[in-house]
Amino acid sequence: MLSTKLGIHLINASALLNFLATNLKVKRHRTYDYTHKVPGQDYVFEVVADDYTKGCMTAQGKGISVGDFITLQENSEVYRYQVEQIDYYSNPNDMWTAILKRITGASQTPLDY
């Protein structure tokens, strides 16, 4: 009887571990470098908070999602923002508008483009 209960618990534990391994994948947030893009031509960024910590950005590019980072340059200063909300247009389907929160002046090298 004890071995039967132990076997059932092991099956349940195995099923739970299998579920966690296949369904709960950790998303790696990516960094997109827009420092070489031309403001007003390649993207539009507008400040939406009085303390300059939030902004609304419209640009083109696929794969950007909530939690990802965007690096922008203003004059000689480089800033890193995190995507709080993003909506893609239907046409063209790679155009998006996002709410960004400034994290810091970007001292880190962008991970991807």
Cα separation of 110 and 105, whole Å? 13
Average pLDDT over residues 73-78: 90
Q: pLDDT tens-digit profile of 85-95?
A: 999 999 999 99
9-63 confidence digits (pLDDT tens): 556 666 766 666 666 666 689 999 999 999 999 999 999 988 889 999 999 999 9
pTM metric for this prediction? 0.69
- 31-105 belongs to CATH 2.40.50: no
Domain locations in the chain?
31-105
Q: Are 57 and 70 in contact (CB under 8 A)?
A: yes
The answer to whether the CB of 22 falls within 8 A of the CB of 63 is no
Rounded distance between C-alpha atoms, residue 108 and residue 70, angstroms: 12
